[in-house]
């Protein structure tokens, strides 16, 4: 159990049976009065924001959260299937749960899947991923248009801006936190 005095930014607590992460937190207390813990949090399953003021007597369950390394196997309709590489257990997450992660997810990629109890609720990708450029306009040497980037499409279908010298078939490294191009990768 956590008590209100344990609350801080980043703490994960259980409220009404669901896991929340504290995103903003402020401690207030009139000198002679009750401590108030003004807390903004995000539901880790639905993503909904929620604000509440707690008092020192309030207690919270620790949510049963566990992170497991899993490999992405395949997708079928809106279901994305992953396998635990040590137990061979398979689970799936929906397109909606994966959100922007889909821009960088390729077959066989190892990711961390977050479980709430036995329910997978989120995925965190490696910080850097290498993806193949599948569509790019050719680089015209001596181009004087003044632009220093151009859009390319990578194997996941994601479109991003890269330097003009990147060509179709090349591999590039992308920062999954920002979705930005980092460097060209030579195999």
DSSP string spanning 18-29? EEEEEEEEEEE-
* Cα–Cα dist 66/112, whole Å: 10
Minimum distance from residue 60 beta carbon to other proteins (Å)? 15
| Partner residues linked to 153 by β-bridges | 135, 159
The phi and psi torsions of 95 (rounded to 5 degrees) equal -55, -45
Q: What is the torsion angle, in degrees rounded to the nearest 10, for the CA atoms of residue 10, residue 16, residue 17 and residue 23?
A: -10
User: Judged by CB, which is closer to other proteins: 2, or 115?
Assistant: 2
Please select the residue that binds other proteins; options are 5, 52, 69, 127, rule is CB under 8 A. Answer: 5
Segment interacting with other proteins, rule: CB under 8 A, options 50-58, 72-80, 84-92, 105-113: 50-58
User: Judged by CB, which is closer to other proteins: 10, or 146?
Assistant: 10
* Cα–Cα dist 68/105, whole Å: 17
* Cα–Cα dist 176/138, whole Å: 25
Count of residues touching other proteins (by CB under 8 A): 16
The phi and psi torsions of 143 (rounded to 5 degrees) equal -60, 125
Please select the residue that binds other proteins; options are 46, 56, 85, 94, rule is CB under 8 A. Answer: 56
Scanning the structure block, which residue is given the tokens 């899993």?
Answer: 70
User: Judged by CB, which is closer to other proteins: 28, or 127?
Assistant: 28
149 scored as a contact of other proteins (CB under 8 A): no
- Of 10-39, binders to other proteins (CB under 8 A) are 26-36, 38
Please select the residue that binds other proteins; options are 1, 10, 17, 57, rule is CB under 8 A. Answer: 57
Q: Which residues bind other proteins (CB under 8 A)?
A: 5, 26-36, 38, 53, 56-57
């Amino acid at each position: 159990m956590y008590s209100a005095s344990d609350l801080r930014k980043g703490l994960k607590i259980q409220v009404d049976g669901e896991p929340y992460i504290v995103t903003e937190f402020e401690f207030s207390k009139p000198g002679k009065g009750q401590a108030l813990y003004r807390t903004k949090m995000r539901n880790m399953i639905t993503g909904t924001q929620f604000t509440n003021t707690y008092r020192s007597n309030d207690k919270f369950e620790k949510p049963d959260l566990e992170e497991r390394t899993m490999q992405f196997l395949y997708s079928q309709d809106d279901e994305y299937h992953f396998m635990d590489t040590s137990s061979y257990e398979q689970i799936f997450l929906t397109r909606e749960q994966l959100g922007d992660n889909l821009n960088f997810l390729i077959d066989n990629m190892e990711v961390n899947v977050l479980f709430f109890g036995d329910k997978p609720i989120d995925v965190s990708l490696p910080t850097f991923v290498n993806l193949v450029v599948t569509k790019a306009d050719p680089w015209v040497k001596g181009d004087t248009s003044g632009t220093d980037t151009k859009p390319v499409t990578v194997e996941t279908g994601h479109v991003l801006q890269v330097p003009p010298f990147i060509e179709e078939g090349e591999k590039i490294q992308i920062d999954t936190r920002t979705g930005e191009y980092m460097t060209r990768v030579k195999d």
